[in-house]
Amino acid sequence: MPFRQEPPRLGNQYETDRALRSYLRRALPQEMLEEIEPELLELGELAGGELYRMQLADRLNEPRLTQWDAWGERVDRIEVSPLWRTAERMAAERGLVATAYERRHGAHSRLHQFALAYLFTPSTDIYSCPLAMTDGAARVLLTSGNGPLIKNVLPRLTSRDPEEFWTSGQWMTELSGGSDVGASETFARLDGEGVWRLYGRKWFTSAAASQVALTLARPEGNQGGGRGLALFLVETRDAEGRPRGIRIDRLKEKLGTRKVPTAELTLEGTPAVLVKGTADGVRDIAPMLNVTRLWNAVSAAALMRRGVALARDYARRRTAFGSALAEKPLHADTLAGLQAEAEAALHLAFHAAELTGREEAGELDEEGARLLRLLTPLVKLTTARAAVHVAGEVVEAFGGAGYVEDTGLPVLLRDAQVLSIWEGTTNVLSLDALRTALKDEAALSSLKAEIERRAAAAQDERLLPAAHAARGAAAHACAWLAAAGREGQTALEAGARRFSMTLGRALALALLTSHAQWSLDEESDPRAAAAARRFAHSAVDLISDHDPEDVAALLADL
């Protein structure tokens, strides 16, 4: 018999996810979990079966932009791939956004929603992108106090009816800057009929096929910088489906996220509605970014889980040197490290989701809200970086097959790479976290206390070294902050990424250890403890001092 290689298979992606199920058993009231579990099982079955097969079959389809019709009329129509059309319908029907706003389970509604998103995301080729922005836009509108938008647009964004459901884009990045949005050049002018009209270019607009978008523009006469920008809502198309004062110049040719129609737009007098005031738009859009960053973290955890599930299954099917890869001590050791990373990301992302749900339900006090403000960038940047690392290892775990497109594996790596770029790069978010930690000592103290509390929950002696490592890393980061603060701004900025990653990973480790204790006590399951121990031996404490002269020497030419 000639050798035949079996492809990797996925089972029910909820049923087989020990880490997710264990987390939900701890975090949710039992009756709630019993109520939502059939939904999770159904989506898990689709994600590992029919949707996964559709995803593989859809591999070569990409969004298409048609700029002109046959008769010379500018139409700028975008058609997305069949998988995305299915995803849009499913997302509405299954309440991927709605669940968070119906609040059937109060503060736990966000966990419900993100459990669905975690299962849905890896089989729908980054359809999480428009969903994240739609969720973010809904949050902005809800808190805006803008009656007409709350009445007319919010119900669309949170609808379960696919015919009613609208998605929203988020148009911030311009040629002059994605990180530095204060440099935006788009301006807004009131026309003779009292309608705001926008003029400018938006350089990266994903979800360009969305029905609405939130965007920033500077009302004429306003000051420069972020304070002078205002937040606007744009309805992208008229009743006939034609763009309203928007020219779609082209779709980006990207490394990954190739199903996402990311467009360059020119706004040519686009009619727009002010969401709040005529300034401070960067502040007004911040709630959207908090939500999209949370989606980013959940997506990172979900993509890691998908990659590890495939690699673990393949290791049982692929033989080399006379036995299955799963039986090779070094291959097993490599996969175990990836599993621990994926579990850490799961706990980190869902911890932020838990706090967000409590904040929205009015259950978070002032201290909790400030902690969440510091956590959001930390959780986003830590999980995104881990996802890129894990995706690279997953591809390698398949050997040559991992590098071949029609296995559907390379896309995991390409898609993971975006997670550390959009919604704030690792450096930009590290600086954001640094600023918060410096400005708000109480937020940093709360984070330290949270790490301490979680670590202290671990009583089993096999968990004590991990708990100790979490505390030690957090203390080291705080000591570094104090010392670098004495040295000045350059030292602070240069070390911001190591500071933020250390805090993010220390919290992940503390969450893993406390969950592991619970799982030992309540489930008699030693696997979460194994994840905590393994993660404790990965790079958690990244604090180190580097001589600025070395930095200059390394970057000097010749």
Which positions lie near ligand FAD, rule CB under 6 A?
A: 169-173, 177-180, 204-206, 254, 257, 262, 418, 421-422, 425, 427-428, 431
Q: Among residues 428 and 456, whose Cβ is nearest to ligand FAD?
A: 428
Shortest distance, position 185 Cβ to ligand FAD, whole Å: 13
The two three-digit tokens of residue 70, written as one number: 């046959």
Helices 527-536, 464-487: inter-axial angle, 10-degree rounding: 30
In whole angstroms, how close is the CB of 177 to ligand FAD at the nearest point? 5
**Among 266, 187, 270, which residue's Cα sits nearest to residue 223?**
187
Nearest approach in angstroms of CB 421 to ligand FAD is 5
Q: Which is nearer to ligand FAD, 122 or 178 (CB)?
A: 178
Closest separation in Å from C-beta 500 to ligand FAD:
12
Smallest separation (angstroms) from ligand FAD to the CB of 526: 40
Q: How far is the CB of 295 from ligand FAD (least distance, A)?
A: 13
Q: Are residues 120 and 39 in contact, defined by beta-carbon separation less than 8 angstroms? A: no
What's the CA gap between 157 and 135, in Å, rounded?
7
Helix (DSSP H) and strand (DSSP E) numbers for the chain: 20, 11
Instruction: Decide whether 6 or 180 has the Cβ nearer to ligand FAD.
Output: 180
* Closer of 123 and 186 to ligand FAD (Cβ): 186
Nearest alpha carbon to residue 199 among 246, 152, 138, 255 = 246
For ligand FAD, the closer of residues 263 and 516 by Cβ is: 263
Q: Which is nearer to ligand FAD, 133 or 301 (CB)?
A: 133
Place of tokens 């106090």: 145
Going from the C-alpha of 180 to that of each of 171, 201, 279, 428, 480, the distances in angstroms are 14, 15, 17, 9, 27
Residue 213 pairs in a beta bridge with 169, 234
Question: Alpha-carbon distance 93 to 544, whole Å?
Answer: 49
Termini Cα distance of the chain: 60
Count of CB atoms within 10 A of residue 68's CB? 11
**Is the CB of 213 or the CB of 443 nearer to ligand FAD?**
213
Least Å from the CB of residue 401 to ligand FAD: 26
- Between CA 287 and CA 479 the distance in angstroms is 31
Dihedral (CA of 114, 142, 86, 75) sign: negative
| Nearest residue (CB) to ligand FAD, 8 versus 169 | 169
Q: Which two tokens stand for residue 479?
A: 């000591």
Question: Between 165 and 171, whose beta carbon lies closer to ligand FAD?
Answer: 171
CB 312 within 8 A of CB 343: no
Q: In Å, how far from its chain's centre is CA 483?
A: 32
Q: What CA–CA distance (Å, rounded) separates 110 from 2?
A: 51
* Nearest to ligand FAD of 9, 414 (CB atom): 414
- Give the residue closest to ligand FAD by C-beta: 178
Tokens, residue 50: 């029919």
Min dist. Cβ of residue 121 to ligand FAD (A): 16
Calpha distance 506→299 (Å, rounded)? 20
Cα 184 to Cα 169, 215, 247, 381: the distances in Å are 17, 11, 18, 24
Nearer to ligand FAD, 326 or 428 (CB): 428
Q: In whole angstroms, how close is the CB of 554 to ligand FAD at the nearest point?
A: 16
Report yes or no: 374 and 448 within 8 Å, Cβ to Cβ.
Answer: no
For the bound state, the minimum distance from the C-beta of residue 429 to ligand FAD, rounded and expressed in Å, comes to 9
* CB of 259 or CB of 358, closer to ligand FAD: 259
Nearer to ligand FAD, 95 or 136 (CB): 136
Least Å distance between CB 431 and ligand FAD? 6
Query: In this structure, what are the phi and psi dihedrals at residue 258, rounded to the nearest 5 degrees?
Result: -75, -10
Q: Which residues contact 63 (CB under 8 A, 6 or more apart)?
A: 78, 79, 80, 81, 84, 209, 251, 259, 260, 261
Closest CA to 77 of 270, 272, 261, 273: 261
- Shortest spacing between CB 512 and ligand FAD, in angstroms: 28
CB of 254 to ligand FAD, least distance (A): 5
Distance CA 66, CA 78 (A): 6
3-class secondary-structure state, position 273: strand
